Chain A
Amino acid sequence: MNKIKEKYKEVKGKYDVIIIGAGLVGSIIARWLSKYNLNILLIDKEPDVGTGTSKANTAIIHAGYDSPFGTLRGKLVVDGNRMFYQMCEELDVAYKTCGTYVVALTDEDIKTLEKLMENGRKKGVPGLEIISGEEMRHREPYINPDVKGALYAPTGGIGDPFMLTVAAAENAVMNGTKLLLETKALDFVVEPFSLHKKKVSGVVTNHGTFLADVTIASAGLYCDELMEKLDIKYDFYVRARKGEYYVFDKAKKLQVKTVLFPCPTPVTKGVLVTITIHGNMILGPTAKEIKDKEDTSVTPEGLEELYKGAKRLVPKLELTDVIRTFAGLRAGGFLHDFIIEAPPKYWGFINLAGIESPGMASSPAIAEYVVNLVQEQGLELKKKNNWNPIRKSRPDFSELSLEEQGWLIEKNPLYGRIVCRCETVTEGEIVAEIHAPVPAHTYDAIKRRTWLGTGRCQGSFDTPRVIEILSRELGIPPTDVIKESKGSYFLTRPTKEVPKGELND
């Protein structure tokens, strides 16, 4: 610890609040805190925001009927759902209010639905209703014809967790928050405070030390590493639980229109079939505990499980229409509840741990909850009178009418050059993302924002062009352009050059 302190002890800045982790939760907390007269720093260890759990999940805006009554998670999801759609409107992030269904295939399942509905009503989830099998077949023609009934939750929907993270971080930055990427919290600055408490008065990072009155740890899967530094222990440990997915071609006829959950059993929630905000059908997720927190590989067993599970809901499904697979990691714990608290032995520190599903749906309520905790840590919160809740998305060329496309090209000729032909993404859109308030400086950062490279050719056409654009706009050699993380380079050297080491051999 001392060694680290030696190396990075130089104080680089002083803030009212530091938030560690620019995932969905950290970014939304920053956006909520930016309403007040506070000097805020948001840091993330990666070159982009939202590259942890927030970039790969099912994206369901849960209505909240399933998480247990009496838990923090059970409460925040219902509150979060209520606030969610307005937040998306303000941040100009897409969502679908398609409702969600839990599908019963047996009479036994119907009983489970009744229990779920009862739990939901107790928690104040509006509009819950059990519909007949016939009605379900009418709403989703490809559903298993044996369907006996379904629990319909009209307030459920589909969100865009990654763009929500970007938008929230951007809105925070617009309102004065400082964002530092590739900045990893390595340790804390801890000082004596009172008899029973110590004060956390800052964060040591690879880019120097930053001091703050309140430090918020929202590090997703890595919350345990930070907790270890402060010797905070709960009755659980954080484990990564992998969820694998299949993505289908959106051009294919067989599609679902909503979110279809199988009936949960005591062992598993099961594989669900849902539509995404981009119109692709997806199957997933599996749930397998693993050791490696970066292991987002897909496995043959996982894919097999998905297929079998999803076939029960939509028997006509065929794997020939699959265009992609991916996996995400949940920060699972034993408690199965969110931990959001100011640990009693510290002053000026707020810890978030175990923010697994439905972390996205709960996020605005989580942020409000954290605002209260910040206040309890002695910071006086005064609303700014010039806070701007509105963040506008940049033009998506493919969504515009021919006439609007024409105007855009007239204004900026870069919109007249297609870089990704499958998804119709133009150079103008890419350049706009590279220079946005939360800049996209890697291939994958651009891909997540523009959806480039996700179509039928999976990036074979756009890759050389994107490398060229990134190199030009960032003023770096093409060999320094990366896909996602440090070390994920695309090119090794210009041609007609002897590879390194060859001369010495």
Chain B
Amino acid sequence: MIEKYCDVAVIGSGPAGLAAAIAAKKAGAQDVIIIERDTELGGILLQCIHNGFGIEIFEEDLTGPEYANRFIVQAKDAGVKDLLDTMVLDLTPRREIYAFNKRDGMIKLDTGAVVLTMGCRERPSGALAIPGYRPAGIYTAGTAQRLVNIEGYMPGERFVILGSGDIGMIMARRLTFEGAKVERMIEILPYISGLKRNYVQCLLDYDIPLQLKHTVIDIKGRDRVEAVVSAQVDENWKPIPGTEDTIPCDTLLLSVGLIPENELSKKAGVELDPLTGGPYVDDTMQTNVPGIFAAGNVVHVYDVVDWVTKAGFVAGQHSGKYAIQHKKESERKLRVIAGNNVHHVLPQFLDPQNLEKEPQELQLRVKWPVEDRVWVKVEVDGKLIKQQVEKYVRPSEMIKVILSPEVHKKAVGGRELLIKVEER
């Protein structure tokens, strides 16, 4: 496992993450790294190839990838590093990140501060509990967007779209461009849930019918969708008998809302607001866990990307400041690192001022047993300062190493103390 330290780690490279990384750098943090599970920076913007982005910040009408690219360039210029094709698996309350990728395998990152910018996910179909079959041909609008814009394939030819979210409306137009027929958009509310602008430009301009106060009550087709049945709903959202309408189609798209993506946040003990689905944050965008910040759709779902960027700047700036402060505090301390055949050592940090005054005890466990004499060696910045013999070592038995004030003299000014077990 590779182990590293960085001042600020940003999880997710959408507009929120890019802004946070740039701001953290500007605030003075040295080592700023963005971790992204996709193979490119930019987040969901990369699949939003339509325009309408950046009107507020740049006073220009950009496409998603163009908007992202402006910030990617800024981040690169500022010296932000990235780890692409890398998935963060775990985050601890002590801000340790476990991530992995094909190239490096498992990576452990110790950090001064973390910014959560994992974005959101779409509400899936299963939770909607539409009766009927589950044939092929049911997608969320975002999945369809990825298939068409990134993979270059059509998920169907005749569409019905359930829900009137922005992605659904934008996809209605996109699919029409590609020669498909969008039969209808169906919305249970008495009003559209996306932006008026999108309704005009994506539905009205292309004569795509919208039915408000309707929902899908059945899906027909066994192998592939063959039709969906819609019905009008009453004020209690219940379908009104007699209003059923069978619409032949081969695909049902769902555009029924977005939910912040907070599985990782929960692992770190970040508290979530049941109303937004995102973390509780203060005015610096810090969560309840010290040093963990959040911004963008992971906090609450935004409608305009410019605001996401602005939130990213706030979180990034404060995470940078936090990391610098944190570094100052730990600067005087000696980091204790587990080397060859050492599973872990306690404590992880030693205060040289204390070591100067009285002996300090290190406790460690080995990774694998050696039924023979071994050396336990202690090095500071590569220089051997102590070694002792053990008759044997076993993972089940803890080993103690005492560091005396004399030993400390050999280590004055050191940064890292490495402890390792070697066969003789």
Contact = CB atoms under 8 A, between A and B. Distances in A.
A416 B142 contact: no
A467 B125 CA distance: 19
A422 B223 CA distance: 26
Interface stretch (B69-77, B154-162, B297-305, B414-422): B154-162
Contacts of A491: 147, 153-155
B127 A322 contact: yes
Contacts of A492: 153-157, 250
A300 interface: yes
A422 B263 CA distance: 9
Given A405-B100, A424-B89, A489-B224, A483 B136 contact: yes
A489 B135 CA distance: 9
A498 B179 contact: yes
A326 B133 CA distance: 9
B183 interface: no
B339 to A, nearest CB: 16
Contacts of A416: 100-103, 105
Contacts, number: 135
Contacts of B250: 492
Contacts of B222: 294, 485
B235 interface: no
A409 to B, nearest CB: 4
A457 interface: yes
B124 A496 contact: no
B98 interface: yes
Given A403-B1, A460-B121, A483-B136, A413 B152 contact: no
B180 interface: yes
B129 interface: yes
B87 A299 contact: no
Contacts of A326: 134
B37 interface: yes
A459 B137 CA distance: 12
Interface in A461-484: 461, 463-464, 467-468, 478-479, 482-484
A251 to B, nearest CB: 9
B66 interface: no
Contacts of B134: 326
A468 B151 contact: yes
Interface string B116-154: 000001101111010111111101101100111011111
B105 A409 contact: yes
B178 interface: yes
B85 interface: yes
A402 interface: yes
Contacts of A323: 126-127
A417 interface: yes
A485 B223 CA distance: 6
A460 B136 contact: no
B189 interface: no
Contacts of B224: 487-489
Contacts of B229: none
B106 interface: yes
A438 to B, nearest CB: 22
B135 A488 contact: yes
Contacts of B151: 464, 467-468, 478
A298 interface: yes
Interface of A: 294, 296-300, 303, 322-326, 402-403, 405-406, 409-410, 413-414, 416-418, 421-422, 424, 456-461, 463-464, 467-468, 478-479, 482-499, 502
16 contacts: A323-B126, A406-B100, A406-B106, A414-B102, A416-B101, A417-B101, A422-B263, A457-B124, A458-B125, A460-B142, A461-B121, A464-B147, A484-B136, A489-B136, A499-B157, A499-B180
Q: Which 5 A-B pairs have the closest CB atoms?
A: A458-B124, A487-B223, A416-B102, A413-B102, A483-B136
